[in-house]
Structure 1
Amino acid sequence: MENLSFDSFTKKIYIKTDVNTVYQCWATKSGIEKWFLREAEYTSSQGHLRNHNEPIEVGDSYIWRWHNWNGQEEGTILQANGTDFLEFSFASDICKVSVTLEQKDKSVLVTLMQYEMPTDEKTKMEIYNGCSCGWTFWLANLKAYLEHGILLNEKEFDLTDIPQAGHIYVNM
């Protein structure tokens, strides 16, 4: 077994669906807003805003806004092959996230890796710990959405004014 390191982590989940369905949930505005974000904006490297069902491409920039958090995430699409792999800068461009999709019988193995993270104490707490917990929930939310048509994230109650809500509530 490899030694624990705070510069990366991997999360995996099987989802009973096909690769194309999962890829569309990650790689389009309409897809990612169904299970993950309140709002996503993708802008091509030529400066045009991508429409709801237009797939992301390498060089696109993104702005993501979540439910129950007033902040936003901005980054760049580093890789997107149109079928089963994408990579983007994340956490104010201090690290990268990749998503790999593999068909396994009637399921897709989703492998999310977040890596190239600094290992100072602040990053360990906010990025390693926070993102590791966050991705665990969001991958489970994607599975619930695709397999059962339900969402687990909190939309009914406004948690934005609760200090440390992201560390207390499991479904943000």
Structure 2
Amino acid sequence: MPESSAERTVERTLGHLRAVDAPDEQTDPGMPVTLEDLYRVHRMRLVRLAILLVDEAATAEDVVQEAFAGLHRNWAKLRDEAAAIGYLRTAVVNGSRSVLRRRKTAREYVPPHAVTARSAESLAMLSTEHQAVVNALGVLPPRQREVLVLRYYGGLSEAEIAEAAGISKGTVKSTASRALEALQRAMAEAQHQ
């Protein structure tokens, strides 16, 4: 599968998930946005973003809950709704990184186990091709997974990814390129097993 094919496959899979997770309700543009509005409209999408990063639903929900708690603590400092959503997205990425660091530390002291906790309904909703992409994402290094998930699931630009992940735009480009190559290899290996 050529690299452009891997990119199209990732874009199709994560774009499909993004469309499924699009907020059903929007807030009234004339009314001030409340924390409750943001929670109701954006919570599930942020949970799915975290699931793609940490590969565990309960942990992802904890990460998102912490992001909203942090937003609540900093509510008075925010400029507008867009700043609040950016804050939440960055908090979810940073919280996911912390989870992965803690997991790595724990694995150094405890033998690793091969449990991947995806919900049955989340996998049932995906086609075989989409499942292969999500499984391959799980074997990528955290930063590569972050960049691909933020780009293709989050629908973010390179600048937005750089801001959310705390890296430069050039690093976003090179990481995305390496991630697509690694994803292509992982999918090819999975097909041959």
**Bigger share in helix:** 2
User: Which fold has the larger relative contact order, with Cα–Cα distance below 8 Å and residues 6 or more apart in sequence?
Assistant: 2
Instruction: Give the TM-score, by structure 2 length.
Output: 0.27
Instruction: Give the TM-score, by structure 1 length.
Output: 0.29
| Bigger Rg over Cα | 2
